[in-house]
Amino acid sequence: MTRKYIALPQGVSEKDFDAAINNFRKVLSDDAVLTSAEQLAPYIKTMMPVPDADHTPSAALLATTVEQIQKIVAICNQYKVPIWMISTGKNLGYGSAAPAERGQVVLDLKRMNRILEVDKDLAFALVEPGVTYQQLYDYIKEHKLGLWLSMPAPSAIAGPVGNTLDRGVGYTPYGEHFLFACGMEVVLANGEVLRTGMGSMPNSNTWQVFKWGYGPYLDGIFTQSNYGIVTKFGFWLMPEPPAFKPFVIQYQHEEDIVEIVETIRPLRISGVIPNAVVIAHALYEAPVKAKRSDYVSGPGSIPDEAVYRIMKDHKLGIWNVYAALYGTQEQIDVNWKIVTQAFGQSGKAKILTEQEAAEDPAFVYRAKLMRGEMTLTEFSLYNWRGGGGSMWFAPVSQARGSETLKQMALTKQILAKYGLDYSGEFIVGMRDMHHIVDVLYDKTDPEQTKAAYQCFDELLTEFSARGYGTYRVNTAFMDKVAETYGPVQRKVHKTLKKALDPNGILAPGKSGIR
């Protein structure tokens, strides 16, 4: 047992760790090397159904410059100390700010929060990892740049670097965030600084406008990975459209998901609906308006009868399709006609415009997200059941109605087996759907916590058995998901790791890579 630290990195003696900490203090100021329990406690809380002790860091480092990070990796190599990098650390439901393995040192880049450039004409930004969406949003407003952000639901408190590197999504036409990434600066494990794409060429002014550079495209290997520390990040911003028309379409039966997806797909692929459409189940939207305990108590998943009462009481569909049109008023008028005709054919859809749904808090927050406005309303999910347990189950499906129905039915069936509710939505990509399910459980209840773990494990097992891959997962299940993609991919990941980080100091365990 260590006397000085709340945890130690695996295989590192207290004496060696002491030496590493002393060296970190020489590189950073004393107040930027956190080792006390009180300082580290805010890094420990996770929503996963595993003991927080499994993810307790040994220290946290608050770096402010690239040069400091270069020195930090040198110390880590010397003492074989692993670091876990976070930008703003808001990976809620995926592991939060806590490291993948007990004893890793958190390298917290929140103080590297400079907005380095925002180009109004070319509509791009270059930022450091600690920049939040709120910070960038305020900057754009203050300078009247006429640009829109795309952000995930934790909007204001999260940041574009961390979200994009974990391949998160948003809700505007730029919602597939990595698709709009352009140029990274990366500190490698050996301390060298790589600028990807055109950034490698001295005096180039095309780093944030041309993604590919020359030779193999490298940016991808620094996402969902542990091959480097991204210290600068470029991405494209959306010019503010002259007009914007958000709307919601409600359906009353779960099987209607087939019709919804078959209707949306051609509209999405042809660009009539340009943004990442959300098809949210009633139980995903209900927490904005109600609490689970208002309808049911006791064990077991919520019965359909209670879901129907929630729908009736709070004017929700079982499926609620949120989308928007962007462009000039003339473009929107034309596209609106196409949309209403397409959805109106079967007579099942209830189409509501912004005027008709303006008082609905669920619509209000969805509309904000679709125009890149800050809102944290989706956090209401955490009050649905309470207890602080949440894991995002995130399988990918084809944008085909039959597939989505199969995925929903299988998810509901497995959740019900463990007494958990289906709080799910589909986010429609270009040709795929991100099926996003918040597995909510009460972490204060040991039995439910155990059930949630088993449930999540079964979801991964059953989905992968049917060829449904998970695109992102929390730190407790990274190895399991990596396994589902087969041995060859794991071997390639490992080969790259060995080549780029032979001492394994950068975030061991991230995406199952060591």
Partner 1 sequence: MDETRRNLIKGMLTGGTLLALGIPGITQAASTTSTLSDNARNCHLLLGNTPIGEAFATGARTACAHYGHSGQNTLATFQLGDELLISPQHIADLLARSHNMRWVAVMDYAHAAIFTELVRNADGRLLALGSHASASNADAALSLRHRWTTASPAYSAGGLLASTLVQNGRSFSIVENFLKTPFPEAGLTEALLPQFSSYGLADQPATHLHCAGLPAPEASQLVGWETSASWDLWVSSPAAAFVENPLLGNWIEATGYAVVAAALGTGIHQQACAQRAFVHRPGNRNLDHDGLAGKQFVSFVIDV
Residue with tokens 């209840």: 445
Residue 179 CB, nearest approach to partner 1 (Å): 27
> Taking the chain, what is the end-to-end CA distance rounded to the nearest angstrom?
25
Cα angle 354-359-362, degrees, rounded to a multiple of 5: 80
CA-CA distance, 452 to 49, in Å (whole number)? 7
Residue 4 CB, nearest approach to partner 1 (Å): 10
With 0-12 / 13-18 / 19 or more C-beta atoms within 10 angstroms meaning exposed / middle / buried, residue 341 is exposed
Q: Which is nearer to partner 1, 331 or 377 (CB)?
A: 377
- Give the residue from 508, 503, 498, 513 showing the smallest Cα distance to 74: 503
Residue with tokens 């189940």: 281
The token pair at 111 is: 């103080």
Segment (H or E) for 231: strand 229-236
Of these residues, 366, 385, 472, 514, which one is catalytic?
A: 472
CA-CA distance, 448 to 420, in Å (whole number)? 9
Report the 10 Å Cβ neighbour count for 352: 19
Residues in the chain: 514
Q: Which is nearer to partner 1, 42 or 146 (CB)?
A: 42
Report the 10 Å Cβ neighbour count for 465: 9
Residue 163 CB, nearest approach to partner 1 (Å): 14
The one-letter code for the residue type at 305 is E
Residue 382 CB, nearest approach to partner 1 (Å): 4
Q: Which is nearer to partner 1, 284 or 326 (CB)?
A: 284
| Helix ranges restricted to H, 83-206 | 133-142, 160-165
Residue 61 CB, nearest approach to partner 1 (Å): 13
Helices (H) and strands (E) in the chain, counts: 15, 19
Residue 290 CB, nearest approach to partner 1 (Å): 13
Q: Which is nearer to partner 1, 43 or 251 (CB)?
A: 43
Residue 182 CB, nearest approach to partner 1 (Å): 27
List Cβ neighbours of 281 (8 Å cut-off, separation of 6 or more): 318, 319, 320, 408, 422, 423, 424, 425
Q: Where do contacts with partner 1 occur on this chain (CB under 8 A)?
A: 1, 3, 6, 31, 36-45, 47, 52-53, 56, 62, 88-90, 92, 97, 110, 134, 156-157, 287, 293, 297-299, 375-377, 379-383, 386-388, 442-447, 449-450
Contact (CB, 8 A) for 125 and 237: yes
Contact (CB, 8 A) for 272 and 343: no
Of these residues, 400, 471, 485, 490, which one is catalytic?
A: 471
The token pair at 431 is: 């040709």
471 is annotated as an active-site residue: yes
Query: 277-281 and 424-428: which strand pairing?
Result: antiparallel
Q: Which is nearer to partner 1, 74 or 157 (CB)?
A: 157
Residue 505 CB, nearest approach to partner 1 (Å): 23
List Cβ neighbours of 8 (8 Å cut-off, separation of 6 or more): 2, 14, 17, 58, 103
Residue 450 CB, nearest approach to partner 1 (Å): 7
List Cβ neighbours of 167 (8 Å cut-off, separation of 6 or more): 177, 178, 223, 224, 471, 472
Q: Which is nearer to partner 1, 418 or 468 (CB)?
A: 418
Q: Which is nearer to partner 1, 294 or 333 (CB)?
A: 294
Q: Which is nearer to partner 1, 41 or 430 (CB)?
A: 41
Using CA atoms, how far residue 127 sits from 112, 149, 357, 431, 471, in Å, is 9, 13, 36, 30, 25
The token pair at 231 is: 């210290």
Secondary structure (DSSP) of 274-333? -S-EEEEEHHHHGGGT--GGGT--SSSPPPHHHHHHHHHHHT--SEEEEEEEEE-HHHHH
94 is annotated as an active-site residue: yes
Q: Which is nearer to partner 1, 49 or 197 (CB)?
A: 49
Q: Which is nearer to partner 1, 40 or 399 (CB)?
A: 40
Residue 161 CB, nearest approach to partner 1 (Å): 15
Of these residues, 43, 94, 365, 382, which one is catalytic?
A: 94
CA-CA distance, 384 to 402, in Å (whole number)? 29
The residues carrying an active-site annotation are 94, 471-472
